[in-house]
Structures are given as C-alpha cells and as structure tokens.
Amino acid sequence: MHQKDIDEMRAFNRFYTSLIGLLNAHILNSEYSLSEARILFELYHNSGMTASDIISLIHIDKGYLSRILKHFELKKLIVKKRSSDDKRSVYLNLTPKGKKDLEILSRASDAQIMKILSQLTDDECKQLISNLRAVKGALEKVKG
C-alpha cells in the first residue's frame, strides 16, 4: 500500500459524498440526518431489533443512538416493547408514520440514483455496477 492509494481512496470518498449530498445536515431534502435515515432503514427491514442490534450492525455510538431513538419516540416514529423473556431487552419497531417516512426517503434515494445512472450509457451503467460489486467484495474482507 502506498500513500498514492490512500490519497485516491480519500479523493473518491470526497467525490461520492459530495455527489449524493451526504455532507448536508439533512439527507435528500428531508428532516433526517444520514444516521437517522440509516436507523429508520434498518428498523424498516429488520422489525424488532434492539438498540444493541443496531449498534452491532452499523457501528454507531451508543449515546448517539440513544438520543436518536428518544427523538424518534417523541416524533412517534418508533414504539418500544419490552421483552417478556428478558426484561432488559427492548424491541424497536417503526410506527406507520415511521414506515411512511422511510418509504418517502427510499423513493427520493431511488430517484437520486436514477438521475445519476440515466446520464450514463447502458454499457457505462453495467460497467459501473460491476465495478461497485468488485469494490464491495474487496471491502467486505475488512468490514469490522
């Protein structure tokens, strides 16, 4: 590994985060931060997760997650249900409002990516997707 490789990867990270607006305070012109949107996504696709499950999955700080979940409760995006087996465990589920908000975010994200991909030829799009799969495959080896 050389400094040039590190510089290239960092340059790509800056380019991509700028391209899709990840540095904006709110993602996709919504009221949600990237972290909040990711938590909504995980709860939408994995009903009944615990806070520990989320921490393990997305490697978010416990205190930060706790503040986000409290905010979600106040906004009526999630409901908590204590486990009948283990009173220390609390299961998190999206409310209908939480599901609706995530679905709106998901459609906006799809539209954003469609706009990007529509500017490429079919061959360029196929090549890009192939390259993305290769990058993901390589980086899955180092996923912590």
DSSP letters spanning 61-109: -HHHHHHHHHHHHHTTSEEEEE-SS-TT-EEEEE-HHHHHHHHHHHHHH
Query: Residue 144 has what pLDDT?
Result: 57
Q: Which residue has the tokens 């009526």?
A: 76
Task: Specify the CATH number of the domain 29-139.
Answer: 1.10.10.10
Query: Residue 88 has what pLDDT?
Result: 81
Rounded Cα distance, 141 and 134, in Å:
12
Query: Residue 23 has what pLDDT?
Result: 81
pTM, rounded to two decimals: 0.87
Per-residue pLDDT of the chain (144 residues; tens, 9 = 90+): 899 999 999 999 999 999 888 888 888 889 999 999 999 999 999 989 999 999 999 999 999 999 999 999 999 999 999 877 777 889 999 999 999 999 999 999 999 999 999 999 999 999 999 999 999 999 998 875
* 30 in Cβ contact with 91 (< 8 Å): no
Query: Residue 110 has what pLDDT?
Result: 96
Rounded Cα distance, 1 and 94, in Å:
44
